[in-house]
């Protein structure tokens, strides 16, 4: 198969057209102002997929844009990894549909993997494994979610945070030193009650007449809607993120000072700033890119990388720590050497 | 950090007037107390006192006094 080391050849993301800004949310939730929502979350607006618009529709545009940018052809893809928790259908696999829609060779491998905010790290880990074991030369990783379709309109605790997006990442084989890894992972299924949709799966089927229940903070949802226990999720990140970073540094044999940039999953600004201070990461080495897109699940890291590249915070050759964490609970971290070659 | 110092810090983070939080106040009667305020409290306990407070513990707390009891190990 020739070269067997993985590198990040390019990243591209797309967003749905409709923008939901804080003014619109404040008008729906009396007692809140646009500025208060921004102060609490660090988010000014998020993008909302149209009815019937799927993550795969966004991913298709991202992938086509990326191939154009890289001057690559669908025929070059020999493995498609598709990360989503909002697939087009319960079955079949969205990656299979994408093979057909994108015109990828029928000889390519394609699979979905169901992870949320840790999904970018796991996707890179799988891509590296496929390339460095000689199973593939060009892996297209697609991350796509339309979480806003899972939220109850009356639940401001999550409507203020989440937005929809898709990202495409091309991971290719090269003869040189690997530019992706090492990886560390983490899983704790005890997090189930704190991030879930109680009904709609096989364990508990969707309940069309489910009661709308309000919590103490005035947020209302049914068992068919996404639920997040913000306090417990915050504690989960405090327990796991610093440890994941330290384990990754140790595995790579580098110090925190040698890392040029830290790109964490963009959950909300408050949580990110707290983690940054706790881990004593200088502000100039830490990416905050949540203001215009919100929490876009496994797309936040590629979106943040692009924002950092555009702002000049991410330079060619930089050593970048990526950390994803969230629903499952599931988390992972890796180090990426940003390619010197233009993409 | 003393109880009073911690209360003043909490007031700052919850954006309420300095000196307005009293231990006897019930959380259900505080306009500023919501799910985000609970996260702010956990962050403050972690950052300033090195004390871990769980979401369940906060859910059990009924008053400002109950909240302060949760961080007692970190206070002087």
ipTM of the complex: 0.89
A185 in reach of chain B (CB within 8 A): no
Alpha carbon distance A161, A211 (integer Å): 24
Residue of A304, A276, A302 whose CA lies nearest to A290: A304
Tokens of A176: 């040189």
Cis link prior to A60 (omega < 30° from 0)?
no
Q: How many CA atoms lie within 13 A of B41 on its CB side?
A: 26
Q: Which of A83, A117, A143, A219 is catalytic?
A: A117
- Cross-strand pairs, A252: none
Smallest CA-to-CA distance from A146 within A77, A274, A57, A221 is with: A57
pLDDT at B16 over 80: yes
The answer to whether B8 and B56 have CB atoms below 8 angstroms apart is no
Number of H helices, E strands in chain B: 4, 0
pLDDT at A272: 97
Q: Which of B15, B33, B39 to mutate to test the interface with A (most CBs of A within 10 A)?
A: B39
The reported pLDDT for the residue numbered A138 is: 97
Helix (H) / strand (E) containing B60 = helix B55-60
Residue where the block lists tokens 């300033």: B48
A270 touches B: beta carbon within 8 Å: yes
Active site residue A295: yes
Residue A125 near residue A272 (C-beta atoms within 8 A): no
Q: How far is residue A240's CA from residue A188's CA, in Å, rounded to a whole number?
A: 10
Neighbours of A113 (CB within 10 A): 16
Active site residue A96: no
Beta pairing partners, A138: A172
CB–CB of A40 and B38 under 8 A?
A: no
CA distance B44 to chain A (A): 9
**Chain B closest-CA separation from residue A218 CA (Å):** 9
- On chain A, the residues whose CB falls within 8 A of the CB of B38 are 230-231
Tens-binned pLDDT, residue by residue, of chain A (343 aa): 455 899 999 999 999 999 999 999 999 998 889 999 999 899 999 999 999 999 999 999 999 999 999 999 999 999 999 999 999 999 999 999 999 999 999 999 999 999 999 999 999 999 999 999 999 999 999 999 999 999 999 999 999 999 999 999 999 998 777 789 999 999 999 999 999 999 999 999 999 999 999 987 889 999 999 999 999 999 999 999 999 999 999 999 999 999 999 999 999 999 999 999 999 999 999 999 999 999 999 999 999 999 999 999 999 999 999 999 999 999 999 999 998 764 4
A212 touches chain B (CB under 8 A): no
Predicted local distance difference test score (pLDDT) of residue A3: 58
Residue B51, both tokens: 């004390």
Strand pairing category for A213-214 and A227-228: unpaired
φ, ψ for residue A211, nearest 5 deg: -75, 140
Q: How far is A245 from chain B (nearest CA, A)?
A: 18
The pLDDT value recorded for residue A1 is 45
C-alpha dist (Å) from residue A139 to A68, A154, A254: 16, 40, 27
**Number of A:B CB contacts under 8 A?**
51
pLDDT for residue B42: 94
What pLDDT score was predicted for residue A341?
Answer: 62
- Whether A117 sits among the annotated catalytic residues: the reply is yes
């Amino acid at each position: 198969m020739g070269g067997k080391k993985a590198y990040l050849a390019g990243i591209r993301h797309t967003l749905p057209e409709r923008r939901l800004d804080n003014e619109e949310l404040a008008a729906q939730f009396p007692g809140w102002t646009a500025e208060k929502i921004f102060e609490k979350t660090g988010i000014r607006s998020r993008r909302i997929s149209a009815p019937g618009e799927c993550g795969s529709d966004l991913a298709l545009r991202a992938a086509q844009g990326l191939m154009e940018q890289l001057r690559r052809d669908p025929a070059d893809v020999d493995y498609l990894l598709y990360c989503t928790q909002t697939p087009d259908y319960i079955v079949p696999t969205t990656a299979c549909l994408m093979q057909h829609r994108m015109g990828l060779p029928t000889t390519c491998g394609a699979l979905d993997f169901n992870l949320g905010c840790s999904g970018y790290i796991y996707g890179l880990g799988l891509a590296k494994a496929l390339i460095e074991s000689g199973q593939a030369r060009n892996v297209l990783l697609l991350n796509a979610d339309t979480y806003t379709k899972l939220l109850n309109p009356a639940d401001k605790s999550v409507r203020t945070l989440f937005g929809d997006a898709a990202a495409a990442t091309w991971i290719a084989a090269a003869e040189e030193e690997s530019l992706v890894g090492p990886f560390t992972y983490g899983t704790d299924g005890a997090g189930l009650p704190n991030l879930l949709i109680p009904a709609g799966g096989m364990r508990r089927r969707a309940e069309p007449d489910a009661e709308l229940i309000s919590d103490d903070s005035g947020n209302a949802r049914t068992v068919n809607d996404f639920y997040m226990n913000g306090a417990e999720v915050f504690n989960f990140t405090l327990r796991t993120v610093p440890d994941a970073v330290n384990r990754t540094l140790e595995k790579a044999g580098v110090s925190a000072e040698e890392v040029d940039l830290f790109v964490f999953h963009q959950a909300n600004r408050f949580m990110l700033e707290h983690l940054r201070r706790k881990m004593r990461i200088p502000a100039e080495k830490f990416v905050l890119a949540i203001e215009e897109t919100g929490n876009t699940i496994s797309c936040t890291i590629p979106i943040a990388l692009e924002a950092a590249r555009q702002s000049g915070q991410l330079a060619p050759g930089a050593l970048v720590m990526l950390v994803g964490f969230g629903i499952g609970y599931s988390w992972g971290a890796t180090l990426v050497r940003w390619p010197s070659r233009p993409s | 950090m003393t109880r009073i110092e911690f209360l003043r810090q909490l007031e700052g983070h919850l954006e309420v007037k300095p000196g307005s939080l009293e231990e006897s106040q019930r959380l259900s009667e505080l306009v500023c107390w919501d799910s985000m305020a609970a996260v702010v409290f956990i962050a403050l306990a972690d950052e300033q006192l090195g004390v871990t407070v769980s979401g369940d513990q906060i859910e059990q707390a009924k008053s400002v006094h109950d909240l302060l009891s949760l961080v007692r190990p970190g206070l002087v």
